[in-house]
Amino acid sequence: QNSVSSDADEARVIDLFYLALRPRVAAFMIQTIFMGAGMATVERLLFLYLVNDLGSSTLLCGLSVFTNVLFELPIFWYAKSFMRVLGRDGMLIVSMLCFVVRVFGYTLLMPSTRLYIIPLEALHGVTFACFWVTMTDVTKTLINEAGGWTTTIPTAIQMLYNAIGICLGSVLGGWAMKEYGSRQMYRVVAMIITFNLVFHSAGAILSRVFYGKGFLPEDVKEVSIDDDSCSVAQDYRHAPDNESDSLTSERSP
């Protein structure tokens, strides 16, 4: 019995590995890393740019955080409605588009125009909220497809975003900021996410045209069957071999 249980566990681990190798799942994981790295250059390094390059006050830094949180709240509150209208691909595209506009906008700021950081940070609220809602929704789908792993899969996705993406963005972004300057660093980050945006948009369009489904993993719609057929199938599956024929005959007209 222990060997059977061990074989079943090993099979489930292999299934989880194969799930991660699916093209759409692998693309989602790579995009999660890129978005985590991009977010890190904003959340970890923006204040250095505002204070050192633009001469901003700590009050302005605090107001920028207040602004992005303020614009996150309605998106989180109406997340279901946004998801129904835009879909997962649309939510992620909006997130990346707002990110690119915002980060490129950083490079245009001067000490005399530093107050424009406030409207730019409103886009950060949209970026983060749309991405987080999408990531959470896709994670639930992966759990359903894997038939479990309710702790492992969310932890793995969070690891890709935080442990890998945020770490890479903080280290490489900090190095680039020191070596080449803040504006050049943010230009490169905007270009990388722009490439990611174009890649995902093209993938979403082609996936819809040729396969009739989104580029990101989606929930599989179950085929509806009538209750009587469902109960027959369940009874037949769970009944002993010597009773299966009698169950079928009892329910047949």
Domains of the chain, by residue range, sit at: 2-211, 222-253
Between CA 31 and CA 34 the distance in angstroms is 5
Q: Looking at 1-10, 14-23, 157-166, 174-183, which range is the least confident one? A: 1-10
- What confidence score (pLDDT) does residue 64 get? 93
Residue 54 has pLDDT above 90, yes or no: yes
> In one letter, which amino acid is 147?
G
Is the Cβ–Cβ distance between 17 and 148 less than 8 Å? no
More confident residue, 228 or 59: 59
Using the 8-state DSSP alphabet, how is residue 222 labeled?
Answer: P
Residue 234: other Cβ atoms inside 10 A: 10
Please report, to the nearest 10 degrees, the dihedral formed by the alpha carbons of residues 118, 123, 126, 128 taken in order.
Answer: -90
Between CA 180 and CA 183 the distance in angstroms is 8
Tell the burial category of 247 from Cβ atoms under 10 Å away from its Cβ (0-12, 13-18, 19+): middle
- What confidence score (pLDDT) does residue 10 get? 47
- What confidence score (pLDDT) does residue 78 get? 93
- What confidence score (pLDDT) does residue 9 get? 53
User: How confident is the model over 180-211, as pLDDT tens digits?
Assistant: 999 999 999 999 999 999 999 999 999 989 98
The length of the chain, given as a count of residues: 253
Residue 220: other Cβ atoms inside 10 A: 10
Between CA 34 and CA 127 the distance in angstroms is 13
CA distance to 47, 62, 67, 110, per residue, from 51 (Å): 6, 12, 18, 12
Lookup: tokens for 13: 């681990």
User: What are the backbone dihedrals phi and psi of residue 212, each rounded to the nearest 5 degrees, phi first?
Assistant: 70, 25
Place of tokens 């309605």: 74
Domain topology for 2-211: Growth Hormone; Chain: A; (1.20.1250)
Residue 88: other Cβ atoms inside 10 A: 22
